[in-house]
């Protein structure tokens, strides 16, 4: 299940960057990419919940990582919607970077990740 989760969020990030570039260029395909991206949001959330459910002992760090992961998805949507409406995206980009860094740090630090320390 871990591989499915990592694959789904990695594809979601790639699709997000593609959607941003298509949105900037004004391409009509941006909407289609955003819909596929939303499908990968759902896949990522489902695989994350299944991973969380498979843990023998639930630590508060896993709950924080879950909330930060949802924050990443929310920030992605904020960036895309602000771009679509022609508003400033600076705050949404900062939120996305901070949330993504937090999720990656926790994901690598926790026992299901790579042993950093």
pLDDT tens digit string along 33-88? 999 999 999 999 999 999 888 887 778 888 999 999 999 999 999 999 999 999 99
Q: What is the pTM of this model?
A: 0.87
Any alpha helices (H) in 1-117, and if so which ranges? Answer: 2-25, 30-54, 60-85, 90-109
Q: Which residue has the higher pLDDT, 108 or 40?
A: 40
Distance CA 111, CA 14 (A): 26
């Amino acid at each position: 299940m871990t591989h499915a989760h990592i694959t789904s969020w990695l594809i979601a990030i790639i699709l997000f960057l593609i959607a941003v570039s298509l949105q900037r260029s004004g391409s009509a395909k941006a909407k289609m990419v955003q819909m596929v991206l939303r499908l990968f949001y759902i896949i990522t959330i489902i695989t994350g919940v299944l991973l969380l459910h498979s843990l023998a002992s639930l630590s508060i760090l896993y709950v924080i990582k879950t909330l930060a992961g949802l924050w990443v998805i929310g920030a992605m949507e904020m960036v895309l919607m602000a771009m679509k409406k022609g508003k400033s995206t600076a705050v949404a980009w900062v939120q996305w970077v901070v949330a993504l860094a937090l999720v990656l740090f926790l994901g690598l630090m926790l026992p299901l990740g790579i042993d950093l320390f």
